[in-house]
Amino acid sequence: MVERRHLLDVDDLDREGIERILDMARSFAEVQRRPIKKVPSLRGKTVANLFYEPSTRTRLSFELAAKRLSADVLNFTASASSVQKGESLKDTALTLEAMGVDAVVVRHPVAGTPWLLRKWINATILNAGDGMHAHPTQALLDLFTMRERMGNLEGKTIAFVGDILHSRVARSGMKACRFMGMEVLAVAPPTLLPPVAMEGVEFTCDFDAALPRCDVIYMLRMQKERQQEGRVPSIEEYVRFYQIDAGRMGRARPGAMVMHPGPMNRGVEISSEVADAPYAVMTAQVASGVAVRMAALFTLLGGAEGGDGIA
């Protein structure tokens, strides 16, 4: 049996491992700028996208990454599937394994699902988001985006702003930023902060006070449900204290950049003016996503057999 490598959360990598992926992603980003944006590195490998939650950008990003490595891609989404027929996740996973799928990219509303898959089947597992728990490739593409713009991240300060409590993006992102030696702030109303402290992360409810320290302002998507749940009094109130707009940007550190995992709620956590400003790097994040996922797939699927990855 082949030994499999996985990417379940950023903990699977140390700082060196992260930097190796980011370096490889840079090569793949360069491939993206060629007329023929494709390399034969994973020809003959099969990557299955197993998505139990709706998603556009993450699914397309993984699909494109796999195709640009010349892998074959199978898409399985819960709605178009036999979930109705009552097939269990385990049986679906065993089916994919039996078909000889090399990697399973999984998104699931239940935290921990990718760990179950790793236990159940002999295939490389990539976590594309599990419940409110982890989203490691998002964290890696965010690091890549920052590093390309700011160089060394050591000592830089990033604030994650918004619904930290329910955010897998924040959870993986904060860990990854700590690995790279960044200062990490979590900015949110008290009802949207985790009830216990997180190592190395400074919690605060005062966005305006935090702004002057920030090199990076990382906005999280605000779900309308939070109001119904009573976690925020109203969206208007939330906007007043936590939206990033041009006024607040004036108070951030000069040269600060704004990030967002998308899709944005324009007019809620971010004003349209900021969303379209040159210091907002969402487009670069999406572009980085393809390159970073190519690097992750290539690293995990032991590209050695298929060449050095960059033709």
Footprint on this chain of a second copy (rule: CB under 8 A): 32, 34-38, 43-46, 48, 54-57, 60-61, 63-64, 67-68, 72, 74, 76-77, 79-82, 84-88, 91-92, 94-100, 262-266, 282-287, 289-290, 305-306
Shortest spacing between CB 88 and a second copy, in angstroms: 7
Nearer to a second copy, 100 or 250 (CB): 100
Shortest spacing between CB 292 and a second copy, in angstroms: 12
Nearer to a second copy, 21 or 66 (CB): 66
Shortest spacing between CB 282 and a second copy, in angstroms: 8
Shortest spacing between CB 18 and a second copy, in angstroms: 22
Nearer to a second copy, 94 or 246 (CB): 94
Nearer to a second copy, 114 or 289 (CB): 289
Return left, alpha or beta for 264; rule: phi > 0 is left, psi -120 to 50 is alpha, else beta: beta
Nearer to a second copy, 85 or 240 (CB): 85
Provide the edge-to-edge strand list for the sheet that holds 46-51.
72-77, 46-51, 103-108, 124-130
Shortest spacing between CB 45 and a second copy, in angstroms: 8
Shortest spacing between CB 158 and a second copy, in angstroms: 21
Nearer to a second copy, 208 or 308 (CB): 308
Shortest spacing between CB 95 and a second copy, in angstroms: 5
DSSP letter for each residue of the chain:
-PPP--BSSGGGS-HHHHHHHHHHHHHHHHHTTSSS----TTTT-EEEEEESS--SHHHHHHHHHHHHTT-EEEEEESTTTTTTTT--HHHHHHHHHHTT-SEEEEEESSTTHHHHHHHH-SSEEEEEEETTTB-HHHHHHHHHHHHHHHS--TT-EEEEES-GGG-HHHHHHHHHHHHTT-EEEEE--GGGS-SS--TTEEEES-HHHHGGG-SEEEEPP--THHHHTTSSS-HHHHHHHH-B-HHHHTTSPTT-EEE--S---BTTTB-HHHHTSTTB-HHHHHHHHHHHHHHHHHHHTTGGGG--S--
Decide the pairing of beta strands 103-108 and 72-77.
unpaired
Distance CA 91, CA 96 (A): 9
Pair 264, 221: CB distance under 8 Å:
yes
Nearer to a second copy, 9 or 63 (CB): 63
Nearer to a second copy, 178 or 260 (CB): 260
Shortest spacing between CB 149 and a second copy, in angstroms: 15
